[in-house]
């Protein structure tokens, strides 16, 4: 029997809450088959959301607040894991492991010593749930000269690859992530990278322009009322990050504030009104995604499908602009494959946790740029009985490490 139950957790850069996905899996390693049993979103309370933003703000150096946030996020992740199991009427004692990447407050891949810093104490998650917790997935890839992104490339491959149809997965989260799955391709042919800013940019503009009254442009209703100022959009599309070749990942400090500052200043100089600025910024996001695909991916023959996920899929105006940019493609949501777009990230980290226990590398060097495939994550044992089951499972795996690791 290779059937297992696994929980994946994720906290997006939009700081709205924790997503939890309960998975039923069968098979091992690259033969893993995944079924999503239940997904839920647990919103952050306002005071925790404010603390995350304060700790993540440039120049924040308060160690006590960082430590407190580390603990509170751990408690929140554990509560989300218990909640998704309760709603599915599944005892946590049947869950093999948890994939908990934490909330990333720092991620810098340039310079002599690249680093990533996720918060959310895995020891608290393991203690509160009794389930062995796999965390900090990005660090090992970063240590192997990778970007620590896009780690979702391998889960996306296992979930969405197709023998005859090429697929481009675009995750419209705080940052826009692209994963390309060529028709009939092997995992070594998968490509992926972070294309640029997405919802995080639009949300920050909304907060600044409304004095904090609106957290985001609901449905794109403000953007659709404006007009795109082409000279501004073209200027922003020349940002050095957008022109940098993959593998690459967006730096979590600096870039957002830089872009928002430039946009607000340019809008002021051009006497740009509120709706025009949101409209132009939404055009910028859509065009940056499409330009990255054209610039860095090979020519993709038909049949081809664009699969969208993430909170940005609720922005109807952004969806419409992507339809224009990807004319000739079949546009769809991952929901059509029984995977809600906002559950995909958590599901992916559940898959990565399973692969770690299977002894199978979880990164794809063609996507992350790492020197080779690596086992990902740090393991925190759960209860004695759960950890004994995990040890027995790991000892029983005789699946050879794939050639990808070479």
Q: Residue 9: which H helix or E strand, with range?
A: strand 4-11
Question: Do 88 and 228 sit in the same domain of this protein?
Answer: no
**In the predicted structure, residue 316 carries a pLDDT above the cut 90:** yes
E strands present in 121-218: 132-135, 166-172, 175-181, 191-197
Quick one: what percent of the chain has pLDDT higher than 70? Answer: 96
The pLDDT of residue 59 is: 66
Nearest to 367 by CA among 88, 181, 219: 181
Residues spanned by the domain of 362 = 4-148+343-405
Q: CA 33, 192, 40, 391 torsion: positive or negative?
A: positive
Give the pLDDT band of residue 403 (cuts 50, 70, 90). Answer: very low
Question: Do 132 and 187 sit in the same domain of this protein?
Answer: no
Question: Do 301 and 391 sit in the same domain of this protein?
Answer: no
Q: Are 329 and 308 in contact (CB under 8 A)?
A: no
**In the predicted structure, residue 404 carries a pLDDT above the cut 70:** no
Question: Do 179 and 240 sit in the same domain of this protein?
Answer: yes
Question: Do 268 and 384 sit in the same domain of this protein?
Answer: no
Question: Do 126 and 241 sit in the same domain of this protein?
Answer: no
Question: Do 164 and 143 sit in the same domain of this protein?
Answer: no
Question: Do 242 and 289 sit in the same domain of this protein?
Answer: yes
- Tens of pLDDT, residue by residue over 278-310, are 999 999 999 999 999 999 999 998 999 999 999
Question: Do 30 and 117 sit in the same domain of this protein?
Answer: yes
- The CA-atom distances, in angstroms, between 183 and each of 52, 156, 157, 202, 305 are 40, 13, 11, 33, 10
- Tens of pLDDT, residue by residue over 54-72, are 998 866 667 889 999 999 9
CATH number at residue 28: 3.30.420.40
Q: Which one of 326, 341, 356 terminates a domain? A: 341
Round to whole Å and give the CA distance between 9 and 334: 18
Rounded to an integer, the average pLDDT of 311-323 is: 97
Round to whole Å and give the CA distance between 112 and 127: 36
**In the predicted structure, residue 111 carries a pLDDT above the cut 90:** no
Question: Do 168 and 118 sit in the same domain of this protein?
Answer: no
Number of domains making up the chain: 2
Question: Do 160 and 118 sit in the same domain of this protein?
Answer: no
Give the pLDDT band of residue 271 (cuts 50, 70, 90). Answer: confident
The pLDDT of residue 213 is: 93
Q: Which one of 291, 312, 341 terminates a domain? A: 341
Rounded to an integer, the average pLDDT of 348-357 is: 98
Instruction: Indicate the pairing of strand 191-197 with strand 4-11.
Output: unpaired
Q: Kindly give, in sequence order, each residue whose CB lies less than 8 Å from that of residue 398, ignoring residues fewer than 6 positions away.
A: none
Rounded to an integer, the average pLDDT of 95-104 is: 97
Nearest to 357 by CA among 404, 402, 389, 405: 389
Question: Do 143 and 157 sit in the same domain of this protein?
Answer: no
**In the predicted structure, residue 355 carries a pLDDT above the cut 80:** yes
Q: Are 194 and 292 in contact (CB under 8 A)?
A: no
Q: Which one of 303, 321, 341 terminates a domain? A: 341
Give the distance from CA 376 to its chain's centroid.
16
Nearest to 167 by CA among 178, 151, 175, 152: 178
Against a cut of 0.85, is the pTM above it? Answer: yes
- Tens of pLDDT, residue by residue over 158-171, are 999 999 999 999 99
Say whether 221 sits in a helix, a strand or coil. Answer: coil
Q: Angle at Cα 350 formed by Cα 107 and Cα 404, nearest 5°?
A: 75
């Amino acid at each position: 029997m290779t059937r297992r139950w696994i929980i994946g957790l994720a906290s997006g850069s939009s700081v709205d809450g924790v997503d939890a996905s309960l998975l039923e899996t069968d098979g091992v390693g690259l033969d893993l088959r995944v079924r999503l049993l239940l997904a839920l979103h647990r919103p952050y309370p306002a005071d925790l959301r404010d603390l995350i933003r304060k700790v993540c703000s440039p120049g924040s150096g308060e160690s006590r607040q960082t430590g407190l946030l580390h603990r509170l996020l751990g408690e929140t992740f554990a509560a989300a894991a218990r909640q998704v199991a309760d709603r599915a009427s599944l005892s946590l004692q049947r869950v093999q492991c948890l994939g908990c990447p934490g909330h990333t407050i720092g991620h810098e891949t340039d310079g002599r010593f690249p680093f990533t810093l996720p918060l959310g104490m895995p020891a608290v998650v393991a203690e509160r749930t009794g389930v062995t917790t796999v965390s900090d997935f990005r660090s090992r890839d970063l240590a192997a000269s990778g970007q620590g992104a896009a780690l979702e490339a391998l889960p996306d491959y296992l979930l969405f690859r197709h023998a005859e149809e090429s697929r481009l997965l675009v995750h419209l989260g705080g940052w826009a992530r692209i994963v390309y799955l060529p028709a009939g391709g092997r995992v070594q042919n998968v490509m992926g990278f972070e294309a640029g800013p997405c919802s995080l940019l639009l949300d920050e503009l909304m907060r600044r322009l409304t004095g904090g009254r609106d957290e985001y442009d609901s449905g794109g209703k403000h953007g659709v009322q404006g007009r795109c100022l082409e000279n501004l959009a073209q200027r922003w599309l020349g940002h050095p990050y957008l022109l940098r070749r993959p593998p690459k990942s967006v730096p979590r400090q600096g870039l957002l504030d830089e872009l928002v500052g430039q946009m607000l200043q340019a809008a002021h100089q051009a006497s740009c009104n509120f709706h025009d600025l949101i409209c132009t910024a939404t055009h910028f996001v859509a065009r940056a995604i499409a330009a990255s695909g054209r610039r860095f991916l090979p020519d993709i023959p038909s049949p081809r499908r664009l699969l969208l996920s993430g909170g940005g899929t609720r922005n109807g105006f952004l969806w419409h602009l992507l339809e224009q940019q990807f004319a000739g493609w079949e546009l769809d949501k991952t929901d059509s494959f029984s995977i809600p777009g906002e559950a995909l990230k958590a599901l992916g980290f559940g898959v990565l946790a399973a692969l770690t226990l299977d002894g199978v590398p979880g990164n794809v060097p063609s996507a992350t740029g790492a020197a080779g495939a690596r086992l990902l994550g740090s393991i925190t044992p759960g209860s004695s009985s759960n950890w004994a089951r995990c040890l027995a499972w790991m000892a029983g795996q005789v699946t050879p490490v794939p050639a990808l690791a070479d």
